[in-house]
Amino acid sequence: MEAGTITTLYDLKEYLTGVFAARQQEISSNDTPFVAAKRAEAFKLFSKAGFPHAALEKWRGTDLSRALNHEYHTLPELPSAELDIDKIFKCDVPHFETLLVTQLNGWYADRKNLIKVYPNGMIIGSLAAAFSKYPELISEHYGKYADDKAESLTALNTAMSQDGIFIYIPDNVTVEQNLQTVNITDFKQNLFLNTRNLVILGENSHLRLVQCDDSINHDVTFINSVTEVKIGKNSSLDHYKLQNKDDHTTLINSMYFHQDEGSSLSTNAISLNGGLIRNLSHVTMSGRHSTADVYGLYLMDRYQHVDNQVYINHAAPECISRELFKGVLDDHASGVFNGHIKVHRDAQQTNAFQTNRNILLSDKASIDTKPFLEIYADDVKCSHGATIGQLDAEALFYIRSRGISESNAKILLMYAFAADVINKISIPELRQRMDDMVKKRLRGELSQCEQCVLNCSTHEHNKVEFKIDIAKI
Amino acid sequence: MLSIRNLKVSIKGKQILNGINLEVKAGEVHAIMGPNGTGKSTLAYIIAGRDGYEITEGEIIFKGKNILELSAEERACEGMFLGFQYPVEIPGVSITNFLRTAINEQRKYKGLDPVPAVEFMARMEEKKQLLELQEKLANRSVNEGFSGGEKKKNEIFQMAMLEPSLAILDETDSGLDIDALRIVATGVNKLRRPDNATIVITHYQRLLEYIIPDVVHVLFDGRIVKSGGKELALLLEEKGYEWIRSES
């Protein structure tokens, strides 16, 4: 963020705790006693811990102080019941058939149908509405996987979030369509948003979920998003998080996955732009024979910052986790990768692999990469590797020797570097689209409005250009 | 086609080429032989325009132009091709896209419009048949997961597609089984024309049973110490490089 956007030295914690005290009734208007108790407990935790700061081990490389030094509004009003989301957004990915679920400023957008039950038993709706409608599911899962004690921003979310998306897939259901959730922010002032989602997959069920963030205006936004995901026995989730935000946005995206026996998870966070992005992928494997594939790609420049925190908790034997994170950083961009693998004493025959590879294009760009293996079992296979480098000179020469210009050869190599992660996308239309977006990003042609898989149809004229400066490589 | 005169090259202060003279005419095939570490690959890299070498003396004239000032891509656009000893893998970039980009950049250099897609695909098919390639190349990423033989065949395929005036094949025979070797050699022979030339760099005489050279040069200690007809290769095979060492 530019220095000019800092207005006052401001105590955001004091402001938010003040709002919580003054408007508690409004915040908890949809709460059941169970949810209210969680909220109160989380509020205490946040009040005590405050915002994360650089002295904390897991926040050493990410400085939130600039992002916190703004006057924000919080608790945005409910969207109008007449809101027609189709008029604001259209999906422009060819042949990308999705079941689209939208949020506006954190609120479930379809105010006329807060809960929808599908013929196969699938439930999609507002989390606030689900609190009282499905109290058993809520008390079994809500707040069970998110770690309010370890992450004060998660605690803040539990304390202050008002709504989000609730997804329930019953046993033995394969969801054929791709489920796409879009969180739109449209607010005329600086906005601090706590948005909360809960995804529950029963046994033997399968879901593909694409989560996108979008913004209509370009004011300063702080999005503190928490998603809890339960993947039941022998179920699978194929999950994507696509991030293409402007430089005024701080995006804290905390994902808590809980896997039962025989389940599989594939999650892929693709960060193309954003002022400050922190992705937490917290995976607990609680049953045998589960697999978790955790991938990430980040392409950052200017003063952008990206932080990927992965915590794989091998709590059961015979599970496999594979991590692959790759990034290109230019200008003054900075990055953090923190890969923590914990293998419990009885989690024998664990396979855990971790790779983080980075290309730095300028002297000022930086990456702080740290693997952390905590292993208490003796029969395990674990590996980790981190590389930081420049583009390979021999490969550049190879491409140039075919007549391809130096600048195009560099783009080709950066693209080849990123392709590893793009190729992990198993939805062909989405892979094609991300492929195009990465190419555009590398050529400096990607606009922020060309959001993830969506195009903001109302604000074409607001396009902001981002560019990795090839000339400086 | 190519004239190299008194070329002296060093890298990080260490002299590698000590005055190379080489004359290659259109329609000719030259073989450069020599033991390992005598500068064969360096010579190939320098002709093709690799950065990082210090050229202390001499000149390289290619089709009448001094090319030492040209970048690698400009030399390629002028009609130069280097078949690599160790072709580089480029994951995520299909051979089709790679070659189309290369051909179109070369066409742009010459002031020509991009090649139409249909024409390009037809050329791909034609060259595949010419080289008797069975592989489904089009959608594979450049060299990714290729065996050693496949990589070398892919180099020859690229050469066929780019139709250079001068092709330099750096140890294209190394690591090839006899079938792959035959395909590579057949490709070189079929692509041979009165208006192009080939330089084959090799350690062994074996490849020259399939590609008959007009001239054989022996490179030793950064210098061409002997040149002759194809019989020189046989002599080398028989007497070994020790013979050259004692001669020079």
pLDDT at A92: 57
Task: Please give the pLDDT value at position A89.
Answer: 63
Tell me the whole-structure pTM to 2 decimals.
0.82
Q: Does A391 touch chain B (CB under 8 A)?
A: no
Contacts of A118 (CB under 8 A, 6+ apart): A124
Contacts of B158 in chain A (CB under 8 A): 402
* A150 φ/ψ sector (left φ>0, alpha ψ -120 to 50, else beta): alpha
Percent of chain A clearing pLDDT 90 (strictly above): 66
DSSP string, A97-109: -EEEEEEETTEES
A347 CB-near residues (< 8 Å, 6+ apart): A285, A314, A315, A316, A317, A319, A376, A377, A380
Q: Which residues contact A444 (CB under 8 A, 6 or more apart)?
A: A465, A466, A467, A468, A469, A470
Residue type, B246: S
Mean pLDDT for chain A?
88
Residue in chain B lying closest to A415 (CA): B92
What interface predicted TM-score (ipTM) does this complex get?
Answer: 0.95
* C-alpha torsion A48→A54→A56→A62, nearest 10: 110
**Span A9-32, pLDDT tens digits:** 578 999 999 999 999 899 999 999
pLDDT value at position A456? 34
Residue count (chain B): 248
Question: What gap in Å lies between CA B132 and CA B187, rounded to an integer?
Answer: 9
Q: Can you tell me whether residue A27 is helix, strand or coil?
A: helix
CA distance A352 to chain B (A): 24
Per-residue pLDDT tens digits for B146-200: 888 888 889 999 999 999 999 999 988 777 778 778 888 888 899 999 999 999 9
Q: Which residue of A has its CA nearest to B110?
A: A403
Q: What is the mean pLDDT of residues B54-70?
A: 94
How many residues are there in chain A? 473
Return the ∠ at Cα B79 (arms to B74 and B80), rounded to 5°: 80
Judge: B93–A415 Cβ closer than 8 Å, yes or no. yes
Q: Closest partner residue to B102 among A397, A404, A422, by Cβ?
A: A404
Task: Please report which confidence band the pLDDT of residue A86 belongs to, taking 50, 70 and 90 as the band edges.
Answer: low
Report percent pLDDT > 70 for chain A: 88
Structure-token pair, residue A200 = 């529950």
List CB contacts (< 8 A) between B102 and chain A: 402-404
Q: Are B102 and A403 within 8 A, CB to CB? A: yes
H or E segment and range at residue B115: none
* SS3 of residue A64 by DSSP: coil
Chain B contact for A399, CB < 8 A? yes
What pLDDT, on the 0 to 100 scale, is given for residue A93? 60
A399 token code pair: 């491409």
Rounded mean pLDDT, B40-49: 94
CB of B88 within 8 Å of a chain A CB? The answer is yes
Check residues A461 and A249 and name the one with the higher pLDDT: A249
Per CB-CB distance under 8 Å, the chain B contacts of A392 are: 88
Kindly report the nearest CA distance between residue B220 and chain A, in angstroms.
Answer: 25
CA distance B158 to A403: 12
Q: Is A406 on the interface with B (CB under 8 A)?
A: yes
Dist. CA A287–CA A230, nearest whole Å: 12
For A355-410, the pLDDT digits (tens) are 999 999 889 999 999 999 999 999 999 999 999 988 889 999 999 999 999 988 98
What is the structure's pLDDT at A447?
Answer: 54
What is the mean predicted confidence (pLDDT) over B210-225?
90
